[in-house]
Structure 1
């Protein structure tokens, strides 16, 4: 029972952080348009400051921590990948191109055969 209450409090706190992050994004956009008369440097500084504040608030929420953990896991998995050598990559690329050419020829021949069967033999439409 105590665990569900803690999760409810945590979820409410996270909802508040997410709402604050969304409000900061909106405030940054509003500041960008309100500061149009002050010059583009001030305008962009206001936008970037608001977006950075929203990012910091988001990353302190549970969703932000999960996003960071996901990113770390993704980097760890990418490091495990064994990439092919240049020779192997070139061979695989050549096989793919050859297969595409063979399939293109097959489909072209099939199309022309069906065109001949339907238009010339069955319908009698000579071109």
Structure 2
């Protein structure tokens, strides 16, 4: 029950920051943005101390560990893959253009007789 109250309070703080943005419409944009940021930060701090917040923090830690295990492609591999995708894209564009022009020729010139 306490965690639900913490999450509700966190959401209220975020909503208060957004409402503050609109209530400060006559003020400088910096103050309005700071109002939203303050609401987000305050809501995040409150949510952090709830059980779902702690679970989310654990998930983020596990994600960082798993990301470090990934073998990222080298520059050469990235450029080769990008080149293959680009060549395929150009080939498909030419194929679709030829298909379009062929259908246009068949429909307009042969079937309908429009020239």
TM-score between both structures, scaled by the size of structure 2:
0.78
Tell me if 1:122 matches 2:111. Answer: yes
Aligned match of 1:69: 58
Cα distance in 1 for residues equivalent to 2:29 and 2:109: 69
SS for the counterpart of 2:91 is helix
2:76 to 87, 100, 103: 87
1:33-70 deviations in Å (ceiling 9; x for gaps): 77889988887776655543322110111221122122
Q: How does 1:1-127 map to 2 (within 5 A)?
A: 12-29=1-18, 49-126=38-115
Alignment RMSD (CA, Å) = 2.9
Higher relative contact order (CA 8 A, sep 6+): 2
Unpaired runs of 5+ in structure 1? 1-11
Q: Which has the larger radius of gyration?
A: 1
Unpaired runs of 5+ in structure 2? none
1:85-126 deviations in Å (ceiling 9; x for gaps): 111111111111111111111111111111111111111111
Cα distance in 1 for residues equivalent to 2:26 and 2:106: 72
Aligned match of 1:9: none
